Amino acid sequence: MTIKKNIILAIETSCDETAASVYQDGVGIRSNVLFSQIDLHKNYGGVVPEIASRSHLEKIIPITRQALEAAEVSLDDVDVCAVTNGPGLPGSLLVGVCFTKAVVACLGKPIIGVNHLEAHVFSSCINQQVPFPHLCLSVSGGHTALYIVNAIGNYTVIGQTLDDAAGEALDKVAKLLQLPYPGGPIIEKLASAVNFQDFFSYPRSKLTTPDFSFSGLKTAVLYDLVKRGAYELTTQRLLPTATTAFKAQVASSLLVCLGDIFKDKLTLVYKNYPHIKAVTFVGGVACNQYLRNELNAWCTQRELLFIAPERKLCSDNAAMIAFVANYRAQQNLFDDLNLDLKIL
Ligand code: KG4
Ligand code: ZN
């Protein structure tokens, strides 16, 4: 019996977005909808796992319905169901995985578990032709990594963060500055008001391997705030001297520092992979226009293509999950109802 594998329904619930997408082989994305939980978490300065899982439970059915409606297909038309099964928050992943298993158990359709990080890596290939081999810099709130990508589905990690992710550093500094979660967009806005200048020269990571480390940067910003009389360590309070103008200088210095770290890392890695044809920049932090411009300039100097997905495909979404599931399905690489979480 041949398995139909034309229409994929994908579900993503690894963190704080409940997302669903319908993808058609040979056609592309037919729908891509999500509910963002940002408003539920913003008073806490980060994602609260318990709140995240409960919200996924509430939204998973309506969001899936919306994705089917927007794609003008019914559940019966779906050939394969896919779901992110890691890495991510266990309670959040479980909602998506249990829901998808229930759907395929009822409909008797195949299931595919997708690695969230692989989905980010190939998000650049969804709507555009990306040459191989290329380097992929994937940066979000949960991870920061560099990959050498040889073909669709064929990739190797060549460097990753040893502690915090770069997005996490942005979110934590934003929290120190009493700015709302997530920190990235507001940090970009403040930094653009002072033209992305480097005011405070925060330390660039000294790592000479392709790995990253951002926890020291966050601490360096904290001690620099204290030194400038803007933060009181004993009470853990931001002081009134931290005006909006001052926060903009911190935000701008931080972004310039991150841009320098990324470019230095690419320079280091490029020596070992001189045959690459492009650099892709993916993940939520790749929404940042300043960082895109900096990496683009780095590539132009070396006559390399620079490719970043459109913003709604950079931050978490289910279209990237569907894209991976589609190339797996075309190779008949299915999972079954024993599908489990892969947290790490
Ligand atoms: O990929 P994503 O949506 O979720 C994770 O898998 O973590 O990434 C979220 C991260 C957050 O740290 C957020 O602050 C950051 O992406 N981010 C940005 C921007 N928009 C979102 N960072 C810098 N500039 C932005 N415009
Ligand atoms: Zn992500």
Residues 281 and 320 in one domain: no
Residues 226 and 321 in one domain: no
Residues 159 and 291 in one domain: yes
Main-chain phi, psi angles of 21, to 5 degrees: -145, 145
Residues 136 and 236 in one domain: yes
pLDDT score, position 45: 80
Could you tell me which residues are beta bridge partners of residue 34? 19
Domain-embedded: residue 170: yes
Residue 154's alpha-carbon distances to 93, 133, 134, 185, in angstroms, are 24, 10, 11, 32
CA of 166 to the centre of ligand 2 (A): 12
Tell me the C-alpha distance between 111 and 103, whole Å: 9
Domain-embedded: residue 294: yes
Q: Is 115's pLDDT higher than 90?
A: yes
Domain-embedded: residue 344: no
Ramachandran area for residue 70 (φ above 0: left; ψ -120 to 50: alpha; else beta)? alpha
Structural domain boundaries enclosing 249: 130-308
Domain-embedded: residue 151: yes
222-276 residue pLDDT tens: 999 999 999 999 999 999 999 999 999 999 999 999 999 999 999 999 999 999 9
- Coil, helix or strand at residue 252: helix
* DSSP per-residue string spanning 50-109: HHHHHHHHHHHHHHHHHHHHHHT--GGG--EEEEEEESS-HHHHHHHHHHHHHHHHHHT-
CA of 140 to the centre of ligand 2 (A): 6
Mean pLDDT for 12-22 is 97
Residues 109 and 136 in one domain: no
Q: Is 138's pLDDT higher than 90?
A: yes
Q: Is 46's pLDDT higher than 90?
A: no
Tell me the best of 124, 287, 295, 316 to mutate to test the pocket of ligand 1, counting ligand atoms within 8 Å of each CB and taking the most: 287
Domain-embedded: residue 286: yes
174-188 residue pLDDT tens: 999 999 999 999 999
Q: How many domains is the chain partitioned into structurally? A: 2
Give pTM, 2 decimals: 0.96
Counting atoms of ligand 1 from 1, which one is nearest the CA of 165? Answer: 12
CATH number, residue 23? 3.30.420.40
Residues 166 and 142 in one domain: yes
Domain-embedded: residue 205: yes
Of 42-46, 192-196, 210-214, 231-235, the poorest mean pLDDT is in 42-46
Mean pLDDT for 146-169 is 97
Domain-embedded: residue 1: no
Residues 165 and 75 in one domain: no
Residues 156 and 301 in one domain: yes
49-94 residue pLDDT tens: 999 999 999 999 999 999 999 999 999 999 999 999 999 999 999 9
pLDDT score, position 60: 98
In the structure, which protein residues have their CB atom closer than 6 angstroms to any atom of ligand 1? 15, 140-142, 167, 170-171, 182-185, 188, 283-285, 287-288, 315-316
Tokens of 290: 């300043």
CA of 141 to the centre of ligand 1 (A): 6
pLDDT score, position 43: 82
Counting atoms of ligand 1 from 1, which one is nearest the CA of 290? Answer: 24
Residues 219 and 116 in one domain: no
Ligand lying closest to the C-alpha of residue 38: 1
CA of 285 to the centre of ligand 1 (A): 4
Mean pLDDT for 126-145 is 96
Domain-embedded: residue 338: no
49-61 residue pLDDT tens: 999 999 999 999 9
Residues 96 and 220 in one domain: no
Ligand lying closest to the C-alpha of residue 166: 1
Residues 171 and 298 in one domain: yes
Q: Is 1's pLDDT higher than 70?
A: no
Ligand lying closest to the C-alpha of residue 259: 1
Nearest CA, atom 3, ligand 1: 315
Residues 113 and 155 in one domain: no
Query: DSSP assignment, residue 154?
Result: E
